[in-house]
Amino acid sequence: MLRSSTRSLSRSRVLLTGSTAKPVSYSKTLQLPKTAFGPKIPNLEAAKPLISKSSQELYKWQSTRDTHGKEFTLLDGPPYANGDLHLGHALNKITKDIVNRFELIHNGAKVVYQPGWDCHGLPIEMKAITKSDKQLSAKEIRKSCRDLASYMINKQREQFTQFAVMTDFTKPYVTMDHKYEIDQLKVFGKLVKNGLLSRQQKPVWWGTETETALAEAELEYNNNHHSVAVHVKYPIKDPMGPLSGLSNVKLLIWTSTPWTLPANKAICVNTDVDYTVLHNETTGEHIVVADELCESLLKLNDEYVKLEGLSFTGDKLLGMQYSNPLSQGSSYPILHGDHVTSSAGTGLVHTAPAHGGDDYLIGKKHNLEIISSVDGKGKFHGVGIPQELQFLKGLHLSDSIWKIITLYRENDMIFHVNKKFKHSYPYDWRSNKPVIQRATPQWFINVDKIKETAVKSLEDVKFFPESGKNRLLSFVNNRNEWCISRQRVWGVPLPIVYERETNEPIENFETIMDHIIERMDVLGTDEWFEVESDISRWLPEGIDGTRYVKGSDTMDVWFDSGTSWTTMEQEQADVYLEGSDQHRGWFQSSLLNKIIASGVNGTDFKPVAPFKEIITHGFTLDSKNDKMSKSKGNIISPVHAMSGGGKPFLPALSVDGLRLWVASSNYTSDVNVTTEVLTRVFENLKKIRITLKYLLGNLNEFNRATDGVQYDQLNPLDKYVLSKLVKLQEACTTYYQEHNFQRVVKDINHFVSTDLSSLYFDISKDSLYTDAKNSHKRRSIQTVLEVLLRTQIGILAPIQPLVTQEVWETCSQDFTGGSESPFMKDWDSFYKLPKEYSNAKVEDEFNKIWEIKNSLYKSLEVLRQAGSLKSNLELQVNLEVSTDSGIGKILLSHSEFLEDYFLVSKVTINGSTEAPETTATSDIDGENVKISVSRSDSHKCPRCWKFVAPVENELCVRCDSVVGN
């Protein structure tokens, strides 16, 4: 007895030395977490070794290992080699990387991901020309462009590397590389052999700033464009039919491009539309308009009234002629056009065949003159317009509008002018200026011939989101031709030669196409732009090279990038992933080129797309929902987001934070980037690191092989957490397969916050810190912590490769098995949780226990608000319940753990309920549980702080046994 008392005194919280009392610290007797892994996020410099190991070195390992799963190819849509990267690049590249990394870690796939760069095109050419202070030859321009593109590729490569993308950036495909250009030219050769190329003088979208033809994919529509719109009157020469007997009869047209009026060659009506006549009683003038539009037109000019009783269909106007008062003796036809409606305008359409698609078709059908009235710079050149309008020669079309309107008004041809007509209008995506339609000789691909095959090929393609399928289909279905020629120097040349005298293509040029491409393979495409009086070195023997000249047109850059599938060894990529604007651009051009190349002699086109799946993301927006752009000055650069500081002031996200922002975003729509958003990401990243630190710290001396507890020997709460963890892993695996990374992040956050931090960690830390090191309860918890760590690594790794690599290097070899990366472990044997962990019975029991806990805590909150409760550990709880009920049996089976679950010092079942401080009830499946809360009748243990010690300032029984051993 004396020996026992002495032992208790020696371990008490105060040590008596003479008359002085000293507090005794038990901190060294606790099993406190220990780990070198910290909550601080590594900066960009510190992250470099982690990037190398988890990106470049990992890509090499997975590409060269002896065994692997399926081969998975994601073809990189090449970014343009021009300028620093922006957050849109980060969104794109990191999303691709998450897809690739999941395939590696979950399926053991051999990932094939070759980064690419798009190099040709106007922006680089304009920069190269601007930088020079002298007139450059075509070859000099190309060299300057190549140097600039190479510089930009190196610059962007360094910036891309910071995103921890798993690839080999030293071996990209580059559209200006010789092999790429030759492979592209071979696709062009197939295009020619399949009879899909033709040269036509027809209107195309034309950039007057850049002086080149543009494809639809190179246009951006400005919904707030303002034009000057005019209603113009043209007199009918000899009114007939329903107009007989009327004097001074005129046709009323409307146009928002008054600069095209000098090129007017016809007026179109619709034979099925009803027309009527407006009358000006003062002037005696009669104007023909669509009946449905009569009221809206009268509101524009109150000098007119509707001529009652006169209505006729448009077919009655056919065969009549009209004149232009500005062109003496002129006579133009009235024609039918299916494109004419009575929903807007006047129901009569001004037709300038050189300046509009529908106009062109009418012109071809009726043999109208098709000559552009303006040159490549948008200036009138005097051809194809009346003699009276020759004064426009040399004027830019934008400077001519009011001169034309003034002249037309002087000749009594103007009915109404709207100076600020707001409508959607196409802009050149490079110069950001409005474009025009202008007839020029261009090379066109006949898309209509392959359209059906292209559409059929999309039947087996998966789209994420699914709306992308209809979007791509609509672009393909609405396209009949593809203008492929560009009037620029920096690009892949069209390998076509022309008669020197006639400027017509050499006869049967398709028969010598292969020879020219072979010569380009030997000599290089730059050499094509050498000025030569004799081009024999490019032609087969027997053709006089002095009779011909090389064409100077280059290919549409969408044709360049649209042949990038030639870089793959596989027939199809598993995934194409780009912005939603690429349905019109790269997705479409890749699809069309793939179909083009599959044909043989113009037949047997194969309905096989270059991709099995298309994933699209939106644009990055600022806090005002405006698209981020350098011109607006509203961008946040990736470096700024990773480094922090600056204006706006941002937290330093580093690489993992930037990647977490991408994964947290609903990238299928446009993504807002604000200080508030990035701050939330930063806080989330800290939580992830703190959670991993907790796991590592409490596993610092744990060896699964020697210390682990078998599943059937685990305590109930440990089994509950494993069951919840199985659901998390299964859900996140499904989300990854659906590319729904936002839900992965959301579910991880919820699990960590709800099931771990505020529940399992809170409950289990008492045992982890104060129980005996090798106690069953503690080892049971550690067994689960080790499973949690493995599972968290497996789920997080595709999104957070750096932090998981950092964790990996902190873990013991017992955990890692000596492998250098978490991506090197087999999913099924290392990460995948056994089905037995899914335990519905345990989850159901705990759901009932948590209901009781919630009722208890509501009553405790009343005490806390009243100021009478500082810590739950001061309390003991009694549960009054029928032990024969379902909930009673559950509580009895968990009785030894209830104090841990409720985080109080003692819990009894059907014990004493004298003078409780507060009570509560909980109804579980119709059974009533009465909860009584009292102050603990024991003392606070100075080591574990629970109120379970028999004597004040002495250790409780548990702590006494741990410290004594």
Residue 2 has pLDDT above 60, yes or no: no
Question: pTM for the complete prediction?
Answer: 0.87
- How far is residue 418's CA from residue 233's CA, in Å, rounded to a whole number? 15
Domain that holds residue 888: 848-964
φ and ψ of 577, to 5 deg:
-140, 115
Looking at the fold, whether 836 and 853 belong to one and the same domain comes out as no
Tokens, residue 30 = 């606790």
**For the residues of 903-943, what is the DSSP string, one character each?**
TSSEEEES---SS-SEEEEEEETTEEEEEEEEE-SSEE-TT
Looking at the fold, whether 832 and 698 belong to one and the same domain comes out as yes
What number is the average pLDDT over the span 91-119? 97
> Is 467 domain-assigned?
no
Looking at the fold, whether 686 and 806 belong to one and the same domain comes out as yes
The sheet with strand 321-322 has its strands ordered as 321-322, 332-336, 266-269, 349-351
Render pLDDT for 878-917 as a digit per residue (tens, 0 to 9): 999 999 999 999 999 999 999 999 999 999 999 987 788 8
- How far is residue 74's CA from residue 165's CA, in Å, rounded to a whole number? 13
pLDDT band, residue 463 (cuts 50/70/90)? very high
- How far is residue 952's CA from residue 947's CA, in Å, rounded to a whole number? 10
Looking at the fold, whether 743 and 889 belong to one and the same domain comes out as no
> Is 896 domain-assigned?
yes
Nearest partner of 557 among 490, 479, 497, 472, judged by Cα: 490
pLDDT band, residue 122 (cuts 50/70/90)? confident
Domain end residue (candidates: 802, 822, 840): 840
User: What does the pLDDT read at residue 631?
Assistant: 67
Mean pLDDT lowest among 2-16, 83-97, 344-358: 2-16
Render pLDDT for 377-395 as a digit per residue (tens, 0 to 9): 999 998 888 888 899 999 9
> Is 117 domain-assigned?
no
> Is 23 domain-assigned?
no
Q: Say which amino acid occupies 646.
A: G
Looking at the fold, whether 429 and 294 belong to one and the same domain comes out as yes
The pLDDT mean for the chain works out to: 92
User: What does the pLDDT read at residue 18?
Assistant: 40
Chain-centroid distance, C-alpha 851: 43
What number is the average pLDDT over the span 541-566? 95
What is the pairing mode between strands 947-949 and 481-483? unpaired
User: What does the pLDDT read at residue 502?
Assistant: 92
Looking at the fold, whether 686 and 754 belong to one and the same domain comes out as yes
Looking at the fold, whether 869 and 934 belong to one and the same domain comes out as yes
Residue 237 has pLDDT above 50, yes or no: yes
Count up the domains in the chain and report the number. 3
User: What does the pLDDT read at residue 23?
Assistant: 62
Residue 547 has pLDDT above 50, yes or no: yes
Residue 592 has pLDDT above 90, yes or no: yes
- How far is residue 440's CA from residue 206's CA, in Å, rounded to a whole number? 9
> Is 445 domain-assigned?
no
Domain end residue (candidates: 840, 857, 873): 840
Residue 14 has pLDDT above 80, yes or no: no
Looking at the fold, whether 416 and 362 belong to one and the same domain comes out as yes
Looking at the fold, whether 692 and 716 belong to one and the same domain comes out as yes
Q: Decide: 486 and 204 in contact? Cβ < 8 Å.
A: no
Q: Mutual orientation of helices 513-523 and 178-193 as an angle, nearest 10°?
A: 180
The fraction of the chain above a pLDDT of 90, given in percent, is 82
Residue 12 has pLDDT above 60, yes or no: no
What number is the average pLDDT over the span 934-959? 94
Q: What's the helix, strand, coil split of the chain in %, to 5?
A: 45, 20, 35
What is the pairing mode between strands 197-207 and 173-174? unpaired
Tokens, residue 498 = 């022309």
Residue 6 has pLDDT above 60, yes or no: no
User: What does the pLDDT read at residue 87?
Assistant: 93
User: What does the pLDDT read at residue 343?
Assistant: 87
- How far is residue 61's CA from residue 858's CA, in Å, rounded to a whole number? 55
**For the residues of 314-381, what is the DSSP string, one character each?**
GGGGTT-EE--TTSTT--EEEEE-TT--SSSTTS-EEE-TTS-HHHHHHHHHTT-----SB-TTSBB-
- How far is residue 674's CA from residue 948's CA, in Å, rounded to a whole number? 51
> Is 926 domain-assigned?
yes
User: What does the pLDDT read at residue 383?
Assistant: 85
For 535, residues 6+ apart whose C-beta sits below 8 A from its C-beta are 497, 545, 548, 549, 550
Could you tell me the CATH number of the domain that includes residue 314? 3.90.740.10
Looking at the fold, whether 833 and 856 belong to one and the same domain comes out as no
Looking at the fold, whether 831 and 864 belong to one and the same domain comes out as no
> Most distant CA pair in the chain: distance in Å?
137
For 686, residues 6+ apart whose C-beta sits below 8 A from its C-beta are 39, 41
Which of 130-134, 180-184, 410-414 is predicted most confidently? 180-184
Residue 9 has pLDDT above 60, yes or no: no
Distance from the first to the final alpha carbon of the chain? 19
- How far is residue 256's CA from residue 487's CA, in Å, rounded to a whole number? 27
User: What does the pLDDT read at residue 964?
Assistant: 82
> Is 416 domain-assigned?
yes
Residue 831 has pLDDT above 70, yes or no: yes
φ and ψ of 462, to 5 deg:
-90, 145
- How far is residue 794's CA from residue 828's CA, in Å, rounded to a whole number? 11
> Is 267 domain-assigned?
yes
CB atoms closer than 10 angstroms to residue 693 = 18
**For the residues of 26-39, what is the DSSP string, one character each?**
-GGGS-----S--S
What number is the average pLDDT over the span 753-762? 96
Counting Cα atoms < 13 Å in the Cβ hemisphere of 958 gives 20
pLDDT band, residue 508 (cuts 50/70/90)? confident
Select the more confidently predicted residue: 20 or 769: 769
Residue 198 has pLDDT above 60, yes or no: yes
Domain end residue (candidates: 415, 434, 453): 434
The residues facing 204 across adjacent strands are 438
Select the more confidently predicted residue: 844 or 953: 844
What is the pairing mode between strands 575-579 and 554-555? unpaired
Burial class (CB in 10 A: 0-12, 13-18, 19+), 431: middle
Could you tell me the CATH number of the domain that includes residue 809? 1.10.730.20
User: What does the pLDDT read at residue 67?
Assistant: 85
Q: Decide: 660 and 800 in contact? Cβ < 8 Å.
A: yes
The residues facing 462 across adjacent strands are 613
Q: Mutual orientation of helices 654-664 and 87-107 as an angle, nearest 10°?
A: 90
Select the more confidently predicted residue: 622 or 661: 661
User: What does the pLDDT read at residue 772?
Assistant: 94
User: What does the pLDDT read at residue 629?
Assistant: 76
Q: Interior CA angle at 230 toward 226 and 231, to 5°?
A: 145
pLDDT band, residue 126 (cuts 50/70/90)? confident
Residue 282 has pLDDT above 60, yes or no: yes
Position of tokens 């044709």? 559
For 71, residues 6+ apart whose C-beta sits below 8 A from its C-beta are 109, 110, 112, 570
User: What does the pLDDT read at residue 16?
Assistant: 37
pLDDT band, residue 3 (cuts 50/70/90)? very low
Tokens, residue 164 = 């921890």
Looking at the fold, whether 237 and 362 belong to one and the same domain comes out as yes
Tell me the CA distances in angstroms from 845 to 716, 720, 858, 888, 894, one per residue in order.
9, 9, 21, 11, 9
